[in-house]
Structure 1
């Protein structure tokens, strides 16, 4: 973890240094700071960070933090963790298009910042085919076994992880698209931009309701999504002309 290269893009000197100190206290040592749009672009090319902590409001006429990420995604696959004081729908929608690993509102909790960086670091070094992963939820790192995931449901900057026989979902501050990158085996099906389901746990489809093993309430979907899903399933139809 200490070898993780982290780029902090933040135009406020005090905030940037505060983030650096928090991460250094947590054991991270390879940290660079960029304070402008142009400096961020240059540093990404030269430093090749493994993780980018990006302030959205850079106070630059050239572009903001989201624009920086849009510019560098062709040359850098480093996950981005956005920090922002803005919680409006327009800003979140723009940030969402870049599929960030996390989206934290200022003033942020130092522990949560460190936890999100640690979770991102674990995903960077871990093989894609691991049977489980850890997420930060309710002040703890919690192991999530892929086989126990029933479905994921996105809500703005959060993702609800529904698991077998668990009465309440895990709520994580993480983009569902980023989580979806770790659910690429055939059992997981992307039903929409905000829903991933585990086909192994799908038990019944009735009208617009999907019923899953271990869940007491159905998941409601549109007619269009239900039709797409049925094409993905192995449905045996009665022969034409037969009774029943």
Structure 2
């Protein structure tokens, strides 16, 4: 399981240190900090950043909004603005770069964690229509595209990562690191190179949410990542030390994943 990598852009040294400490205690990884836009952009290009916390008022010619705009031109990620400014003009400019969340100063651990969860969720999920957003708010249901995994937990994914909300925060792992999936009843285990994640979700729903052609179903209770198949026979697939069965009705779909020349 990889921690969520965070970039902090804040010109007040004490607040930078406070933020870094809070985030580390919550289980996030602060990989870089900066006090101005150009430095933040350089760090963004140098490191693998999953989420950025930017103060709107920072040192230099670029403010946090302009810095976020330039970051988005390179690669979009969820952005959270930190601000003590609440005027309409500032918020109007901030909206032009589609931030995932705002945190007003001063803030506490709860507001910080909630903003990060919201930012990751909004970034990973497709935009909701006005109608679906209204229904979700009225019924207190999950956003369209999210599936319950347990009390207060979600499964989301981007192109490279799967995000699972457990114990009140999102954790992530690479889709490429998934070896295979095993389902029993309404629960599905995702087996990765290093960990196992148990979801309260049937196998079909998990596959639907992952939406990757490399992971294919081989049995009513199993699916495998084709990238990690070491060998196979008519009835069995071997991934490392794991033996996964192949059901008769799934053989054709499994074989479609290979190119024959």
What TM-score do the two structures reach when normalised by structure 1? Answer: 0.51
Match of 2:50 in 1: 50
- Contact 1:40/1:68, CA 8 A, preserved across alignment: yes
Output the CA distance in 2 between the equivalents of 1:94 and 1:123: 20
Match of 1:163 in 2: 138
Output the CA distance in 2 between the equivalents of 1:152 and 1:88: 26
- Unmatched 5+ residue regions in structure 1? 130-145, 154-159, 171-181, 183-244
Within a 5 Å distance, the mapping from 1:106-125 to structure 2 comes to 106-122=105-121
- Contact 1:10/1:16, CA 8 A, preserved across alignment: yes
Q: How far did residue 109 of structure 1 move?
A: 2.1
Match of 1:5 in 2: 5
User: Secondary structure, in 3 states, of the residue corresponding to 1:6?
Assistant: strand
Within a 5 Å distance, the mapping from 1:102-181 to structure 2 comes to 102-122=101-121, 128=125, 150-152=131-133, 162-164=137-139
Q: How far did residue 38 of structure 1 move?
A: 1.4
Does residue 27 in structure 1 map to residue 2 in structure 2? no
Output the CA distance in 2 between the equivalents of 1:106 and 1:99: 20
Output the CA distance in 2 between the equivalents of 1:118 and 1:162: 18
- Contact 2:65/2:94, CA 8 A, preserved across alignment: yes
Output the CA distance in 2 between the equivalents of 1:72 and 1:29: 19
- Contact 1:20/1:31, CA 8 A, preserved across alignment: no
Match of 1:99 in 2: 98
Query: Cα deviation per residue 1:106-163 (whole Å; 9 max; x = unaligned)?
Result: 1112211112213334556x6x47xxxxxxxxxxxxxxxx89x95547xxxxxx9632
Q: How far did residue 104 of structure 1 move?
A: 1.3
- Contact 1:37/1:65, CA 8 A, preserved across alignment: yes
User: Secondary structure, in 3 states, of the residue corresponding to 1:104?
Assistant: strand
Deviates more, 1:100-109 or 1:6-15: 100-109
Output the CA distance in 2 between the equivalents of 1:32 and 1:4: 12
- Unmatched 5+ residue regions in structure 2? 143-156, 158-261
Query: Cα deviation per residue 1:66-109 (whole Å; 9 max; x = unaligned)?
Result: 01011121112111000011000000000001110001111112
- Contact 2:100/2:122, CA 8 A, preserved across alignment: no
Output the CA distance in 1 between the equivalents of 2:22 and 2:52: 15
What is the RMSD of the two structures over their aligned residues, measured on CA atoms?
Answer: 3.2
Query: Cα deviation per residue 1:164-209 (whole Å; 9 max; x = unaligned)?
Result: 4x7xx99xxxxxxxxxxx9xxxxxxxxxxxxxxxxxxxxxxxxxxx
- Contact 1:56/1:64, CA 8 A, preserved across alignment: yes
Output the CA distance in 2 between the equivalents of 1:97 and 1:161: 25
- Contact 2:20/2:30, CA 8 A, preserved across alignment: no
What TM-score do the two structures reach when normalised by structure 2? Answer: 0.48
